[in-house]
Chain A
């Protein structure tokens, strides 16, 4: 299949490769922070944040089961 597609190609003009498009990272500049003030830096460790998220998801699941 691929071979037949190759042989059917009617391309007659080579395409110059764009070497610049993937040369640099996107600007990905600073985020827009309204008022410039950051949210308080959490003093919870990652384990604690993950634990809280998991417990909330489990509680949400139980709520949904009760409502369903």
Chain B
């Protein structure tokens, strides 16, 4: 659905339109597959994108060693998640085609998983879509990278996801904490270089 390369993060940071197109395509797909249609507040989404770009700049100048070749995908996605959780960019949610005439974004999984995801969407709204997007992008990077010793295993549990959503929906949310959670969730040993 999204055809991405390793430069996608820079592209999204440079252009709101590029980010909006990919992010919303993903969010609509997930939402419609679960039978919901989100009404987007584009002004707020743009504010969230602006905050994300500004925070990435601050992190790059303040927190990361100078020889870094840019913020990692984990940091960028953690900052995005907190930025989008801080604005109500999903204005309303409605049932998508309740009569089932349109077949868009078919849900892959069991009926129970779909029902649970519907409940998550309804409760988490824009923050839940941002969470799904951040995880999907990080997973794509982790599957593709070849600088780790162990094979990639997605280790998130429903319990951890629930606690993370509670945290993200609270006013205490903080990008550094989310980054460290992501770092722990995706930790693998670095491959040793052979000389």
Bound: A31/B76 CA distance, A: 13
Contact A48–B107 (Cβ < 8 Å): yes
Range of interface residues on B (Cβ < 8 Å): 35 or more
A: residues with CB less than 8 A from B are 24-34, 36-53
A49 to B49 alpha-carbon distance, docked (Å) = 27
Which residues of A sit under 8 angstroms from B29, Cβ to Cβ?
43
Stretch at the interface among B39-47, B80-88, B153-161: B153-161
- A50 CA to B26 CA in the complex, in Å? 19
Q: Is B58 an interface residue (CB 8 A)?
A: no
| Measured CA separation A68–B179 after assembly (Å) | 42
* B63 cross-chain contacts in A, Cβ below 8 A: 24-25
What separation, in Å, do the CA atoms of A48 and B12 have in the docked complex?
27
Q: Determine the distance from Cα of A24 to Cα of B137 in the docked complex, in whole angstroms.
A: 25
- Check B65 against A36 for contact (C-beta < 8 Å): no
The answer to whether B74 touches A28 (Cβ under 8 A) is yes
Contact present for B72 and A31 (CB under 8 Å): yes
Taking a contact as CB atoms under 8 Å apart, the answer to whether A27 and B64 are in contact is yes
- Docked complex Cα distance between A33 and B145 (Å): 5
Could you tell me which residues of chain B, from 81 to 116, have a CB within 8 Å of some CB in chain A? 105, 107-110, 113, 116
Residues of B within 8 A of A28 (CB): 64, 68, 72, 74-75, 183
Q: Encode B129-140 as 1/0 by CB contact (under 8 A) with A.
A: 001100111011
Other A-B pairs beyond A25-B63, A36-B5, A36-B7, 4, CB < 8 Å: A29-B72, A39-B140, A46-B132, A47-B113
B89 CB to closest chain A CB (Å) equals 19
- Assess the A33–B141 pair: CB atoms within 8 A: yes
Contact A50 B157 (CB under 8 A): yes
- Known contacts A24-B63, A36-B6; is A44 also within 8 Å of B109 by CB? yes
Can you report 13 A-B residue pairs in the complex whose CB atoms are below 8 A from each other?
A24-B63, A29-B69, A38-B144, A42-B136, A42-B139, A43-B26, A43-B29, A44-B109, A45-B30, A47-B116, A48-B108, A48-B117, A51-B109
